[in-house]
Amino acid sequence: MNGNTFISLPPKDKLVKKYISYYYFHKSSHDNFQQDFIYYPHYCNAITIYKDARVAWDDWRSYVTSGDTSLTILYSRNYDRCIQVSLRGQINKTGIVFKPLGLNHFVSSPLSLHSTQVVTAFNYFGTAFESELDHVYALKSNDEKVELLDQFFVGHYTPFSEQRLEKAIDQILKTNGAIECQQLADDLCCSRKTLLRLFKKHLICTPSVFKSLVRFRNTLNYYQEQHKKPSLTQLAYEHQYYDQADFIRHFKAVTGETPKLLFSKIKNLGSQNTYWTFR
């Protein structure tokens, strides 16, 4: 990848595996390295750590250049638009990709108290996390990095007790986002207003946005994983779109591009369904 590496690995600890999908390690050692890419909405969310870099960001774009000596820790919540990233110079980045309610099992307060933007600085774990990250970055073995990160999160495990939201997430994932919000509320014996409140409090998005992300991402992942690529009609049918036109409209609303154009450009990084488009 033109002088840089991207490696993704799942957790090793059984407890951590329930809540963290994978870690990734992205590094460039060249001063003249340049990379611009787009990454796509996901129903998972992530903490991203940059070492020795200056990072500037707004809701839909990040600019990363080498030069600073500190750690920058960012949290990316559920969102329904693409984000553009520009990398310049030597980059040393670690990502922690959580399952939908994964991070909620390691913090004792609602995520809505810690994030008011799509991407925001995340200092919940304080100096203990920064110290642990210094040790992670000092290691050469990615397996050892995974073990150290696992140990940190085991030590910060805080059970999440909102069972209604857990059941709602499970239902949405099982139906590929096709379940109606009213049906979801009825199944949970609560009002739609309560359902909306739970999602905004703990996932910082609405049920409708989350359902849309599940359908978009599952469809994208499925297409990329198939050796023999299905037709758009097959994709629409298998992922419970009304028809092919509905499928195309959804992808254009999320990415600004038709599925056909998007699929022709997107690239897989690592081994854990990380898909970017390079520019």
> Using an 8 Å Cβ cutoff, are 190 and 164 in contact?
yes
Distances (CA, A) of 213 to 37, 57, 169, 219, 267: 20, 22, 12, 10, 19
The CATH class, in words, for 4-155 is mainly beta
Of 134, 160, 133, 164, nearest in space to 149 by CA: 133
What pLDDT sits at residue 278? 67
Low-confidence residues of the chain: pLDDT under 50: 1
Task: Count Cα neighbours of 180 within 13 Å in the Cβ-side half-sphere.
Answer: 3
pLDDT digit string (tens) for 92-106? 999 999 999 999 999
97 strand-pairing partners: 22, 46
What pLDDT sits at residue 128? 93
**For the chain, domain boundaries:** 4-155
What pLDDT sits at residue 210? 94
pLDDT digit string (tens) for 133-189? 999 999 999 999 999 999 999 999 999 989 999 999 999 999 999 899 999 999 999
